Chains A and B, each alone.
Chain A
Amino acid sequence: MKPHHHLDTATLIGYSAGALPTAFAVVVSAHLSICRTCREQLRDADLIGGQLMKQQEGAPLSASTRDSLLARLRATETAPARMPTTAHPAHDPDLLPAALHPYFGDRYSTLRWRMIGPGVHHIRAHDVADSHLMLLRTAPGRSVPMHSHGGNELTMILQGSYDDSLGHFAPGDVADLDVDVEHQPITAPGVPCICLAATDAPLRFSGWLARTLQPLFKL
């Protein structure tokens, strides 16, 4: 999986700075796990953060912190580091990206989809306080109801694909869009398109649903 649509550098700065709302950070982590290009960009963002941190004037630490650190060093066993299991997920097509497991579970086959319109299902993550994270499954050949209307939105394609004025979006690709970008994705024929979407504007569901269904009924 080699993505063609990448994260905005402004988004990567936010991730590096720990400043992204949770839902956006989850989408970024999922994309990073399959995109070396963005990981290299993130490395530069982290380098910048490290350099800025180093250039700052320090704040005093208490003497007791120093003493307690020394005591803990002496008590700390050191062993060669081991690779965590998360580093190498099995190549199982049913597995969701690791970053999504806390929110949606591990497997596509156990997702509990809720229908929100003809050909459109979704699942909302409930443990996200400061933003909105959801999975959205759209049947082939339909328009994807994915608009936060005025806020940021960040979307990653997990399965299937769609096309819009910005191009073809396939698994692994992210659509990291500015607020003012108007787009209307249409899913490709064949398989349903599953997207992971983060938005910061609170989605007023009824209004959003109404706006969603209107174009769908015309199809």
Chain B
Amino acid sequence: MVMMPPDPATHKVTPLGVVRRVSTSASQAADDARYWAEQMACVAARRDMDGFMRIYDHFGPRLQRYLLGLNVPAAQAEELVQEAMLRLWRRADLFDPARASLSTWLFRVARNLYIDSMRGEPRWLPIQEGLDWLDHEHAEEGGSSAESFTDHAGLSQAIDALPAAQARLIRMSYFEAKSHSEIAQELGMPLGSVKSTLRRAFAKLQLGLGRTP
């Protein structure tokens, strides 16, 4: 009755599950995004628990790392990882790989749960859900610029190519959830320079995504 979860160390279906510390090839990043979109499609279509746990084995530890970086205590972070994964399970039918990659989707849910539980902002989750729906409908009208797997390839290359100072500020923003003022204080930089550096970095990453300025 119980399907045995695949051993994360030996199962063969995640050829791209290895950690990439150095720059990745473009096709690899695209294949990676496509692979996880396919896994998710199986989960949506068949409630495939094995596929779902493969997603957990790959992304769960990464979400945990992300939340620990935001200073969430380990036990609470594991709770939030579980909660994020449960939301993915419940909302599998809503997941549309043309709109968001699995990593983006999970990042957003984990961030929203973090804000909801750690910052205690009232009604943060329903407000975010409302915003999501605005674009969900928009996408169904066919007016949205669909995210393609090749986007990820370009983005991953653009991240690797960021100058050190820009990469540092992007990381401090995303992984330590530091406000611009806090970053400015910590690095002894004027607030205006923090913002303009982030702006330049964002423009480069958007170019990597194929957006025209």
* Partner-B contacts on A (CB < 8 A): 8-10, 12-14, 16-22, 25, 29, 32-33, 36, 39-40, 43-62, 65-66, 68-70, 72-73, 76, 78-81, 83-84, 86-88, 98-99, 101-102, 127, 151-152, 178-180, 200
With A14-B173, A51-B159, A56-B66 given, is the CB distance from A65 to B82 under 8 Å?
yes
CA distance A8 to B110 in the complex (A): 24
Identify whether the interface residues of A are mostly helix, strand, loop, or mixed.
helix
Contact of A60 among B61, B103, B111, B126 (CB under 8 A): B61
Interface centre among B19, B171, B202 (most CB of A within 10 A): B202
Identify B195's interface contact among A8, A18, A50, CB under 8 A.
A8
Known A17-B111, A33-B131, A53-B62; contact A179-B191, beta-carbon cutoff 8 A:
yes
Tell me whether B171 and A47 are in contact (CB under 8 A).
Answer: no
Pairwise interchain contact B177-A17, C-beta atoms closer than 8 A: yes
Given contacts A46-B100, A84-B133, 7 further A-B contacts (CB under 8 A): A19-B179, A50-B100, A59-B64, A65-B82, A69-B86, A86-B129, A99-B127
**Inter-chain contact B81/A65, CB cutoff 8 Å:** yes
A-B contact count (CB 8 A): 225
In the complex, are the beta carbons of A59 and B93 less than 8 A apart? no
Q: A52-B171, A53-B63, A179-B191 are in contact. Are A152 and B181 (CB under 8 A)?
A: yes
Give the dominant DSSP class at B's interface: helix
Interface size class of B (residues with CB under 8 A): 35 or more
On whether the beta carbons of B114 and A18 are closer than 8 Å, the reply is: yes
A66 to B152 CA separation, bound complex (whole angstroms): 29
Least CB distance from B137 to A in Å reads 8
User: Which B residues touch A87, using CB under 8 A?
Assistant: 129-130, 133-134, 137
Quick check: B78 and A18 within 8 Å, CB to CB?
Answer: no
Complex: A54 Cα to B127 Cα, angstroms: 26
